[in-house]
Amino acid sequence: MSEPVIKCESVYKIFGENSKKMLEEANGNVDAKTFQENGCIVGVNNASFEVSKGEMLVVMGLSGSGKSTLLRCISRLTDATGGKIFIEGQDLLQLNNKELIDLRRNKMGMVFQSFALLPHKTVVENIAFPLQIKGIKTEDSISKAMDMVKLVGLDGRENYFPRELSGGQQQRVGIARSLAVEPDIWFLDEPFSALDPLIRKEMQDEFLRLQEKLQKTIMFITHDFDEALKLADRIAIMKDGIIEQLDTPANIVLNPATEYVRKFTEEVPREKVLLIEDVMEAATSDNLSDLKVSKDEIIENVAEKILTQEKTVAVIDNNNQIVGSINPSKIINTVFGGRKNSN
Amino acid sequence: MELIKKYPKLFQWLFLLIVFFALCFAIDVPETYKFIRGQAEFIKDPNQSTYVLFGKEVRYYAFDVFWRLPPLLGWLPIWINDSLFFLMNEWMPMEFWNEDTQEFKTRPLLLQISRNLTYFMTFLIELIREILIGGKNTVVAFTSWEWISENPWAELPGLPWTIVAAGAAILGYKLSGKGLALFAGLVMIYISIFGQWKPSMQTLSFILIAAPLSFIFGLGLGIAAFKSKRVEKALYPIILVMQTMPQYAVLVPAMVLFGVGDHAAVIITMVVAIPPMILLTLLGLRAIPPEVIEAGKMSGCNNWQLMFKVLIPTARRDILIGVNQVIMVCFSMAVISAFIAAKGLGYNLLLALNRLDIGLALEAGLCISLIAILLDKMSLAWANKQIDYFGNLTFFQRHKNTYFFGFAVILGIIFAYFGSFYFKEGYNYLFEVPHNKGISTADFWNKGVDWIFDAFFIYIKAFNTWLIVEVLQPMRALYLRMPAVATLVLVVGAGYIIGGIRSALVVCGLTLFIALSPWWDRALVTTYMATFGVIISCIIGFTVGTLCFQNKHSASFMLAVCDIFQTFPSFVYLIPVMMLFGITDTSVLIAVIVYATIPATRYTIEGLRSVPAALHDAATMSGVTKFQRLFKIEFPLAFPHMMLGLNQTIVFALFMVIIGAFIGTEDLGQYILKALSDKKGAGIGLTLGFCVAFIGLIFDNLIRTWVNQRKKHLGIS
> Distance between CA atoms of A19 and A30, rounded to whole angstroms?
11
Note whether A53-82+91-270 and A275-342 share their fold. no
A145 contact residues in B (CB cutoff 8 A): none
Provide the CA B713 distance to its chain's centre, in angstroms: 33
pLDDT class of B600 with cuts at 50, 70, 90: very high
Please say if the pLDDT value at position B666 is more than 70. yes
Region B270-294: mean pLDDT is 91
Amino acid identity of B497? I
Is B305 in the A-facing interface, judged by CB distances under 8 Å?
A: yes
> Distance between CA atoms of B446 and B452, rounded to whole angstroms?
10
Give the pLDDT of residue A306: 82
Nearest CB partner across the interface for A134, out of B292, B300, B313: B300
Give first-to-last CA distance, chain B, whole Å. Answer: 34
Give the pLDDT of residue A59: 93
Nearest CB partner across the interface for A112, out of B291, B387, B389: B291
**Which residue of B lies nearest to A128 if distances are taken between CA atoms?**
B299
Q: Number of H helices and number of E strands within chain A? A: 16, 13
> Distance between CA atoms of B54 and B712, rounded to whole angstroms?
48
Is B102 in the A-facing interface, judged by CB distances under 8 Å?
A: no
DSSP secondary structure string for all residues of A298-326? BHHHHHHHHHT-SSEEEEE-TTS-EEEEE
- State the greatest distance between any 2 C-alpha atoms of chain A, in Å, as a whole number: 70
Please compute Rg for chain B using Cα positions.
Answer: 28
Please say if the pLDDT value at position B46 is more than 70. no
DSSP secondary structure string for all residues of B147-158? HHHH-GGGSB--
Q: Is residue B296 classed as helix, strand or coil in its secondary structure?
A: helix
> Distance between CA atoms of B314 and B283, rounded to whole angstroms?
12
> Distance between CA atoms of B140 and B119, rounded to whole angstroms?
13
List of residues 6+ apart from B622 with CB closer than 8 A: none
Residues of chain B within CATH 1.10.3720.10 domain(s) are: 217-357, 459-480+525-714
Interface of A with B in 254-313 (CB under 8 A): none
Give the domain ranges of chain A: 53-82+91-270, 275-342
Region A158-163: mean pLDDT is 88
Residue bearing the bigger pLDDT, B281 or A18: B281
> Distance between CA atoms of B593 and B471, rounded to whole angstroms?
15
How many Cβ pairs within 8 Å bridge chains A and B? 72
Q: Is residue A215 classed as helix, strand or coil in its secondary structure?
A: coil
pLDDT class of B453 with cuts at 50, 70, 90: confident
Q: What is the average pLDDT score of chain B? A: 83
Find out whether A331 and A307 touch, Cβ atoms under 8 Å: yes
Give the pLDDT of residue B38: 42
Region B222-226: mean pLDDT is 93
Q: Number of H helices and number of E strands within chain B? A: 32, 4
DSSP secondary structure string for all residues of B35-49? PPPGGGGGS--TTEE
- Residue A246 pairs in a beta bridge with A236
Nearest CB partner across the interface for A124, out of B289, B295, B389: B389
Q: What are the backbone angles phi and psi of residue B478, rounded to the nearest 5°?
A: -60, -45
Calculate the dihedral angle through the C-alpha atoms of B685, B689, B691, B693, rounding to the nearest 10 degrees.
180
Pairing of strands A6-15, A41-51: antiparallel
CATH 3.40.50.620 given to domain B459-480+525-714? no
The answer to whether the Cβ–Cβ distance between A116 and B313 falls below 8 Å is no
Find out whether A93 and A80 touch, Cβ atoms under 8 Å: yes
Question: What is the interface pTM, i.e. ipTM, of the complex?
Answer: 0.82
Please tell me the pTM assigned to this model.
Answer: 0.82
Give the pLDDT of residue B400: 75
DSSP secondary structure string for all residues of B489-550? HHHHHHHHHHHHHHHHHHHHHHHHHHHHSTTHHHHHHHHHHHHHHHHHHHHHHHHHHHHHHT
Region B81-95: mean pLDDT is 81
pLDDT over 90 percentage in chain B:
21
CATH 3.40.50.300 given to domain A53-82+91-270? yes
Domain B217-357 class in CATH = mainly alpha
> Distance between CA atoms of A148 and A128, rounded to whole angstroms?
9
> Distance between CA atoms of B185 and B556, rounded to whole angstroms?
26
pLDDT single digits (tens) B537-577? 999 999 999 999 888 889 999 988 888 888 888 888 888 88
Strand locations in chain A (E): 6-15, 41-51, 56-60, 82-87, 90-91, 108-111, 185-189, 217-222, 234-239, 242-247, 288-294, 312-316, 322-326
Q: What are the backbone angles phi and psi of residue B595, rounded to the nearest 5°?
A: -65, -45
Q: Is A156 left (phi over 0), alpha (psi -120 to 50) or beta?
A: left
Please say if the pLDDT value at position B598 is more than 80. yes
Interface of A with B in 98-157 (CB under 8 A): 98, 101-102, 104-106, 108-110, 112-122, 124-125, 129-130, 133-134, 138, 142
List of residues 6+ apart from B555 with CB closer than 8 A: B548, B549, B605, B609
pLDDT class of B393 with cuts at 50, 70, 90: low
Burial of B98 (0-12, 13-18, 19+ CB in 10 A): exposed
Q: Is residue A236 classed as helix, strand or coil in its secondary structure?
A: strand
DSSP secondary structure string for all residues of B365-383? HHHHHHHHHHHHHHHHHHH
Q: Which of the 8 DSSP states describes residue A160?
A: -
3-state class percentages of chain A: helix first, strand second, coil last, to nearest 5 = 45, 25, 35
Region B194-220: mean pLDDT is 90
Please say if the pLDDT value at position B59 is more than 80. no
**B114-118 contact pairs (CB < 8 A, 24+):** B114/B88, B114/B257, B114/B258, B117/B258, B117/B263, B117/B267, B118/B258, B118/B259, B118/B261, B118/B263, B118/B264
CB hemisphere CA count around B73 (13 angstroms) = 21
> Distance between CA atoms of B655 and B652, rounded to whole angstroms?
5
Nearest CB partner across the interface for A120, out of B298, B300, B314: B314
Nearest CB partner across the interface for B299, out of A114, A129, A142: A129
Give the pLDDT of residue A342: 44
Please say if the pLDDT value at position A279 is more than 90. no
pLDDT class of B696 with cuts at 50, 70, 90: very high
DSSP secondary structure string for all residues of A265-278? HHT--HHHH-BHHH
Give the pLDDT of residue A90: 87
- Name the residue among B328, B320, B408 with its Cα closest to residue B371: B328
Domain A275-342 class in CATH = alpha beta
Is B294 in the A-facing interface, judged by CB distances under 8 Å?
A: yes
